[in-house]
Structure 1
Amino acid sequence: PGDRSDEDIIETGRLCGSRLDMIYVKEDSDLRGRCPGQVAGLLVQGIKSSGSRPQVKVINDELEALKAAINSHLPGDLIAMFYENIEPVQQYIKILGSQ
């Protein structure tokens, strides 16, 4: 979120980049005083500084990022999501579960 320091956001990206194979970066609707794309850019900066080479896709819309992760996952993959608004996420997962 935008109320974290640049250093904290970059470090979060670095930690994720050093542990994950695929990362979908999304942005919160509430930018908390930041410019659009600023937090995503800092996360990507941190990911690139991790020394690892995970695949990274920036999809600003939260639900679209989740859909992309679900559509591209492989058997055995784990999808973890940091969400801003749980209701649309739950609705989408419910729809998937009924198929």
Structure 2
Amino acid sequence: MLNGVTATAVAAGILEVKTLRSQVTILQRLLKESKKKVGEVKEENKRLKALVDSYADDLVIRSTEQSKTTNKLQKQYEKLLAEVKELTSRSIPK
């Protein structure tokens, strides 16, 4: 049979082991939950990246179209300006 000091030490050791097991179980659960969250965040990041890439592609297309339109309008402006200069340079009949 164990003496009082030894029995107390054994009981304390058993209690410590139970506490540590409980903590390990909690940490394992938290780790599992964290891994799940990380997976969810990675999936959300993939969706957001695809969305940003789509917007970027759309902006490139729109910018190219806008540039073409600007060039077309610039040419029309220059043509109209030349016509106005020609008309203003003619003498007005009396």
TM-score (norm 1): 0.18
More helix by share: 2
Q: Name the larger-Rg structure.
A: 2
More strand by share: 1
Instruction: Name the structure, 1 or 2, with higher relative contact order (CA <8 Å, separation 6+).
Output: 1
TM-score (norm 2): 0.19
